[in-house]
């Protein structure tokens, strides 16, 4: 692996399907390698960023496949320590399900232990910069005996400060950065104290001040806006445009309509009008479900009214509004009814909401269920778990500015 000859070099931890890596790639960073436990998510990252974009300069001591971070730490400690002084940034955040307000918030969820694996990895590699992302719930303590405990965000900040970093964390809503989704996440940025001392000309402006100041110029340069709507994002992907055979037998896929917004033009900029839309397969709803969805749209029902009207126990179904950014999308597509058609959204529509370009192809199953949900990460889940590339690019540009 040849490190540091061009641009800035980073490692992506808990990389998922590559949303953050794609953003960093677009910002001019070079990947050393990525660690992702799911074979499904890694296939998507591998196809788009390793094979198509040649983005990673993968080391020969680490096999180019999915990995558990603890196995990498246990088996490659000497190799990780040898990277000290060569890695500019370690990016990514551990899985968030144990902290998520959308889930059950279980403090002893085994995935929460990955916080310590993350800190151990930072300690071994000692990058100049740290970029960490997690859900809003990460900043809120778990209840113990009717009292709130200490938030994990404070624990992480304390531990990283002990490892020699100056750290700041803030909540950021990605809709403010051009993503058509009200998705608030905890972002933490750390700079190595040793690096600060050896660089007297290092900018005093924080990451959060600079990314806020830069966003308007960035979005204008792409002909994009703050708070784009769902309709801005997906109105060219309607089922009424027409249907063709899907790559999956017995399913139909959608075709492109005319580009109707600058956001659509931006994400379709390398796709021809007549080319196939990747992962735009429509769900097969029963007539009962389609009729129910149509009534919800016709009568503009709220989620509560929808549940009451049809005597449904499921409480999380949302009827999306075309003239607003979406609420935070989860990994469960059945939670959302399309804003103007009686159906759930497709994988490609999910990807648009998360700002993935249409050239980014997703691999693996579309959905999964039952016990398989603990082993498999289908396409909807890959996208629902991702950091939007559009925000990742803005973060990447500012992170480069911080240490140039």
Confidence at residue 187, expressed as pLDDT on a 0 to 100 scale: 96
Confidence at residue 4, expressed as pLDDT on a 0 to 100 scale: 43
Confidence at residue 199, expressed as pLDDT on a 0 to 100 scale: 84
Q: What is the band of 5 on the pLDDT scale with cuts at 50, 70, 90?
A: very low
Burial 337-368 (b: 16+ CB within 10 A, else e): bbbbbbbbbbbbbbbbbbbbbbebebbbebbb
- Tell me how far CA of residue 346 lies from CA of 186, 234, 281, 289, 367, in angstroms: 27, 10, 6, 16, 11
- Do 155 and 118 contact (CB within 8 A), yes or no? no
Confidence at residue 7, expressed as pLDDT on a 0 to 100 scale: 67
Domains of the chain: 8-224+387-403 (3.40.50.150), 230-384 (3.90.120)
Catalytic-role residue among 80, 96, 130, 390: 96
Would you state the torsion angle of the CA atoms of residues 192, 113, 158, 207, taken in this order, to the nearest 10 degrees? Answer: 50
Strand positions, DSSP E, 237-289: 243-245, 252-254
DSSP letter (8 states) at residue 137:
G
Residue with tokens 């959204």: 345
Token representation of residue 364:
């693996």
Catalytic site includes residue 96: yes
DSSP letter (8 states) at residue 38:
-
pTM for the structure as a whole: 0.93
Distance CA 103, CA 91 (A): 24
User: 131-135, 255-259, 269-273, 346-350: which range is least confident on average?
Assistant: 269-273
Distance CA 264, CA 266 (A): 5
Give pLDDT tens digits for 123-171: 999 999 999 999 998 888 655 555 567 788 999 999 999 999 999 999 9
Q: What is the mean pLDDT of residues 325-349?
A: 96
């Amino acid at each position: 692996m040849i490190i540091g000859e061009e641009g800035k070099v980073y490692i992506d931890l808990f990389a998922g399907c590559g949303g953050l890596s794609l953003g960093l790639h677009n910002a001019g960073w070079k990947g050393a390698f990525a660690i992702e436990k799911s074979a499904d998510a890694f296939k998507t990252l591998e196809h788009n960023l390793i094979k198509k974009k040649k983005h990673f300069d993968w080391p020969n001591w680490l096999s180019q496949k999915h990995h558990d971070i603890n196995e990498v730490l246990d088996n490659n400690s000497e190799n990780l320590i040898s990277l000290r002084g060569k890695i500019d940034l370690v990016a990514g955040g551990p899985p968030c399900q144990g902290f998520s307000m959308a889930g059950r918030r279980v403090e002893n969820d085994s995935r929460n232990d990955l916080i310590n694996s993350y800190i151990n990895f930072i300690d071994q590699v000692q990058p100049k910069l740290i970029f960490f992302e997690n859900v809003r719930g990460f900043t809120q303590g778990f209840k113990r005996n009717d009292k709130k405990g200490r938030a994990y965000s404070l624990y992480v900040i304390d531990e990283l400060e002990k490892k020699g970093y100056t750290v700041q964390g803030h909540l950021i809503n990605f809709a403010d950065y051009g993503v058509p989704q009200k998705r608030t996440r905890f972002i933490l940025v750390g700079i190595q104290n040793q690096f600060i001392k050896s660089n007297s000309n290092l900018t005093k402006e924080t990451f959060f001040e600079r990314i806020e100041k830069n966003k308007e110029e960035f979005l204008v340069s792409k002909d994009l806006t703050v708070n784009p709507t769902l309709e801005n994002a997906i109105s060219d992907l309607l089922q009424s445009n027409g249907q063709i055979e899907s790559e999956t037998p017995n399913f139909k896929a959608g075709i492109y309509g005319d580009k109707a917004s600058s956001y659509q033009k931006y994400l379709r900029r390398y796709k021809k009008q007549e080319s196939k839309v990747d992962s735009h397969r429509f769900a097969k709803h029963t007539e009962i479900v389609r009729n129910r969805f149509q009534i919800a749209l016709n009568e503009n029902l709220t989620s509560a009214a929808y549940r009451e009207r049809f005597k449904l126990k499921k409480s999380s179904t949302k009827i999306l509004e075309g003239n607003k950014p979406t609420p935070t999308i989860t990994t469960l597509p059945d939670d959302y009814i399309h804003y103007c058609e009686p159906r759930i959204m497709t994988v490609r529509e999910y990807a648009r909401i998360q700002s993935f370009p249409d050239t980014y192809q997703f691999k693996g199953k579309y959905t999964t269920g039952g016990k398989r949900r603990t082993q498999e990460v289908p396409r909807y889940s890959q996208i629902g778990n991702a950091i939007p590339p559009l925000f990742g690019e803005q973060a990447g540009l500012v992170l480069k500015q911080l240490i140039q």
